[in-house]
Amino acid sequence: MDYIPNTERDKEIMLKEMGISSFESLLEDIPKSLRNFSLTLQNGLSEPEVLKLLQDLSKKNTHTNNCISFLGAGAYEHYIPTIVDHLASRSEFYTCYTPYQPEVSQGTLQVIYEFQTLMCELTGMDVANASMYDGSTALTEAALLSIRLKEKNKVVCSRAIHPEYRQVLRTYLKGFGTEIVEIDSPEGITDVNQLEKAADNKTAAVLIQNPNFFGCIEDMEAISNITHKYDALFVACVNPISLGILKPPGEYNADIAVGEGQVLGNYLNYGGPYLGFFTVKKELLRKMPGRIAGETVDTMGRRCFVLTLQAREQHIRRQKATSNICTNQALLALRACIYLCALGKKGIAELGNLNLQKSHYACEKLSALDIFEPAFKKPFFNEFVLKARSNRRINKINEYLLTKGIIGGLDISAFYPELNNSLLLCVTETKTRESIDRLVAELDKMR
């Protein structure tokens, strides 16, 4: 199956019209030495054969629909309303190009505009862009923006930020010789005293995740104040679902708020594609990376939308652009848009509350077992760290749970060696009381 409509007969007609005897004559510029290779691909398959093959591969995976999973750590299982798949599967949305021709792209442009508005509402920030690759690259671009704007080359970053996000930050910043100072979080949240000592006038940005990797809620206001004493930008990396109940970055004077939007109606997808979002105070608007949709009028004076402020972007500015990014995650932003519209003003608050109630119920029940205790005593949202008493090995616990159809939490000792025998568990609204009780009962049997 090759999706090529033209036949050998069409080819002959076309070559004849061009006055060419053979197709090969069109390839005269390619050296003969390059034409001699053989592809080690198999023969093409028919549709039922391909479907069978992929079905078999997909069935080799154990997934969150045929077991109970308590994994979070940057990728979250939330219920996705049926209308999200239905509407986002319209091919007018998924088979169109970047909206460079606004007259025939109002659908995509309006979605981006609505997405920007929704992200501003959730975060309390002034301006949002059309989206970034994922949370980790959004955070990194926020650091780059700060370094560029402040013309300073030091970034202070909490060690309670997702370890993979920090790895991405290091990868990107290597070329700039940026000093990255990491602040510990011995009690589950960033050590504000240590941060106060580390921040100085050379600091371009302070980066904090909230809730942080351990699920704990940071003292964002205090850190924001410290940051601004040194003319640095305060960058908040937030979980948008938590903003249904938690104080948004706009309320604690963040300069940039970014995060991972996978939680907004997007599947786990084994880690991607995900949806980075990027919001700023209006003063930073023209420094922002990525695409932005704006409102204007057409020749008849009707409201319409276009990609705007493109003078920041690589196709105009080339090496002087604010970023090299030239795409966004439009389709995932569309899903986020539909999702947030489906939830509405009441739904997003209810969702936040459900996550809070269920995770606290689970934490309380699990801590009552004598094999665990909470690692930290700080307020948390929908994730928490449990420490096994008496050096019980986390991988043994998880292996046992797997035999019962339960994917336990994440063993975080790999990321934080000092937190050995510790498990990061996530409980969202998708976990019923029954499934939480089952986890508790199974662990109770392990005593």
CB 362 within 8 A of CB 425: yes
Binding mask 106-145 for another protein (x = CB under 8 A): xxx-xx-xx-xxx-xxx----xx-xx-xxxxx------x-
Q: What's the rounded Cα separation, in Å, for the pair 368 and 378?
A: 17
Q: Total number of residues binding another protein (CB under 8 A)?
A: 207
Q: Give the range of 76-84, 150-158, 191-199, 228-236 binding another protein by CB under 8 A.
A: 76-84
Among 309, 426, 317, which residue's Cα sits nearest to residue 362? 426
Shortest approach of another protein to residue 22 CB, angstroms?
Answer: 11
- Enumerate residues 6+ apart whose C-beta is below 8 A from 241: 76, 78, 263, 264, 348, 351, 352, 355, 382
Q: What's the rounded Cα separation, in Å, for the pair 260 and 196?
A: 27
As given in the structure block, the two tokens for residue 237 are 């990396």
- 170/392 with CB nearer another protein: 170
- 230/372 with CB nearer another protein: 372
CB 236 within 8 A of CB 222: no
Q: What's the rounded Cα separation, in Å, for the pair 188 and 217?
A: 9
As given in the structure block, the two tokens for residue 150 are 């402040």
18 binds another protein, rule: CB under 8 A: yes
- 254/356 with CB nearer another protein: 356
Residues 360-419 that bind another protein (CB under 8 A): 360-361, 379, 395, 398-399, 402, 407, 410-415
- 35/447 with CB nearer another protein: 35
Binding mask 203-242 for another protein (x = CB under 8 A): --------------x---x---------------------
- Write the DSSP symbol of residue 150: H
- Enumerate residues 6+ apart whose C-beta is below 8 A from 92: 107
Among 202, 229, 389, 433, binds another protein (CB under 8 A): 433
- 107/200 with CB nearer another protein: 107
- Write the DSSP symbol of residue 202: T
161 binds another protein, rule: CB under 8 A: no
CB 218 within 8 A of CB 189: yes
- 163/444 with CB nearer another protein: 163
- Write the DSSP symbol of residue 216: B
Shortest approach of another protein to residue 142 CB, angstroms?
Answer: 14
- 86/197 with CB nearer another protein: 86
Among 21, 22, 103, 377, binds another protein (CB under 8 A): 103
Among 184, 197, 327, 446, binds another protein (CB under 8 A): 327
